[in-house]
Amino acid sequence: SPWKPLLLLLSPPAFSTTCARCAKDRRLRQKRAISERQLTRYFVDQRKVRVVGGQGGGGGQSFHSEPRKVFGGPDGGNGGDGGHVILKADQQMKSLSSVFPFYQGFHGERGGSKNCYGANGAHMYVKVPVGTLVKEDGKVVADLTQHGEEYIAAYGGAGGKGNRFFLSNENRAPKLFTPGEPGQERVLQLELKTTAHAGLVGFPNAGKSSLLRAISRAKPAVAAYPFTTLNPHVGIVRYQDYEQVAVADIPGLIRGAHQNRGLGVAFLKHIERCRFLVYVVDLSVPQPWIQLQDLKYELEAYEKGLSQRPCVVIGNKIDLAQSRINLPLLREQVAERVIALSALTGDNLEELLLHLRELYDTHVKTEHSRGLSPVKW
């Protein structure tokens, strides 16, 4: 047929006519490796949120008309109410990092004819961790301490009235209808009462981030310059009986932190929400016990009694020669228990893990004796 040459040109060949060098590489593409910096997730224990309730639907305006009943009267239905914005405590949430800075409730639908009411707007649920404090203008308005507990952060607006609502003996054909009311608008501050069970407290470059890397799977940035950590990181220490202890890497403090030098007050707030403290001291510096005295002074100046919480002193960088000379001197100057270890080489980490478990068990017993339920991770 005359179409046979054209069909031969359009049909694909039975075999590849290109050489191996020009052929496309048909191997499966490997997934692009994600850098460690992109894998890092910061712990967020305070967030400012603007919430707006859904707007109510407007009322309907219509008049009923059908055969043999032309003047049926008004039949416009009311509009639906706007949806609320509700904060809900969820024990699966451990950080406020997934909370967005703005939430808008769903709007209600407009009223229809035949006295049909508009549908109400769906509620907007925002999941927050258990133990979240909700503040407005510095005042606590809600404390979500139990799983499933809810707090209405912003009410939705009421729906408008249809013209059927304004029917009266004086006005048998009202054309008046009202729009829906706007939703409530508020600006709230969310804060976690508990950042972690244990908080790593120390000056910059003391080795807090390296220690958290060594005892957990957290990946805080580690570098040979101060203030590497600017946001808190939380690592989970897992034990054989499936108990989990949360350890927070608090950014390094400086002298005068209680006077808000640097970002001292923001960092001290993270320490305030820890149940027991782990002081990390660099053993390689001259007179390392002065670091511990300065740290306790900053904590006590910020909040009275904060330095008296259960604690342990970690003498880091024991792998250095100068650290071994300073270790007995530190133990003479310090009344608390001192655990010498090396976060870089992993020496004597077992003693720290066992003592962390002792502090955690003591904390759990204290909470049960007070009739409270300790926060689980």
Please give the residue that has the higher pLDDT: either 124 or 305: 124
At 354 the three-state DSSP class reads helix
Per-residue pLDDT tens digits for 235-250 = 888 888 888 888 888 7
Which phi and psi angles does 189 have, rounded to 5°? -110, 125
Judge whether 148 and 127 are in contact, CB under 8 Å. no
> What average pLDDT does this structure show over 153-167?
91
Q: What is the pTM of this model?
A: 0.66
Residue 127 has pLDDT above 50, yes or no: yes
Lowest mean pLDDT among 1-10, 131-140, 354-363: 1-10
Q: What is the amino acid identity at position 32?
A: R
- Position 256 confidence tier, pLDDT thresholds 50, 70, 90: low
Q: Classify residue 359 as exposed, middle or buried by CB count within 10 Å of its CB (0-12, 13-18, 19+).
A: buried
> What average pLDDT does this structure show over 124-145?
89
Residue 12 has pLDDT above 60, yes or no: no
Domain ranges of the chain: 43-193, 198-370
What pLDDT, on a 0 to 100 scale, did the predictor assign at position 141?
A: 92
Per-residue pLDDT tens digits for 49-98 = 999 999 999 998 888 887 877 777 888 899 999 999 999 998 888 788 88
pLDDT mean across residues, the chain: 80
Q: Give start and end residues of each alpha helix (H) in the chain.
A: 4-10, 36-39, 208-215, 264-272, 289-302, 321-333, 349-369
What pLDDT, on a 0 to 100 scale, did the predictor assign at position 227?
A: 52
Per-residue pLDDT tens digits for 289-336 = 888 888 888 888 888 888 888 888 988 888 888 888 888 888 888 888
Q: How many Å from the N-terminal Cα to the C-terminal Cα in the chain?
A: 77
CATH of the domain spanning 198-370: 3.40.50.300
- Position 228 confidence tier, pLDDT thresholds 50, 70, 90: low
34: left (phi > 0), else alpha (psi -120 to 50), else beta?
Answer: beta
Lowest mean pLDDT among 36-50, 79-93, 110-124, 174-188: 36-50
- Closest alpha carbon to 218 in 80, 377, 355, 362: 377
Q: Which CATH class is domain 43-193?
A: mainly beta
What pLDDT, on a 0 to 100 scale, did the predictor assign at position 104?
A: 94
Lowest mean pLDDT among 119-133, 212-226, 250-264: 250-264
- Position 182 confidence tier, pLDDT thresholds 50, 70, 90: very high
122 is written with which tokens?
Answer: 């769906």
What pLDDT, on a 0 to 100 scale, did the predictor assign at position 324?
A: 86
Contacts of 212 (CB under 8 A, 6+ apart): 200, 218, 220, 233, 235, 247, 249
> What average pLDDT does this structure show over 12-22?
51
- Closest alpha carbon to 115 in 181, 55, 64: 64
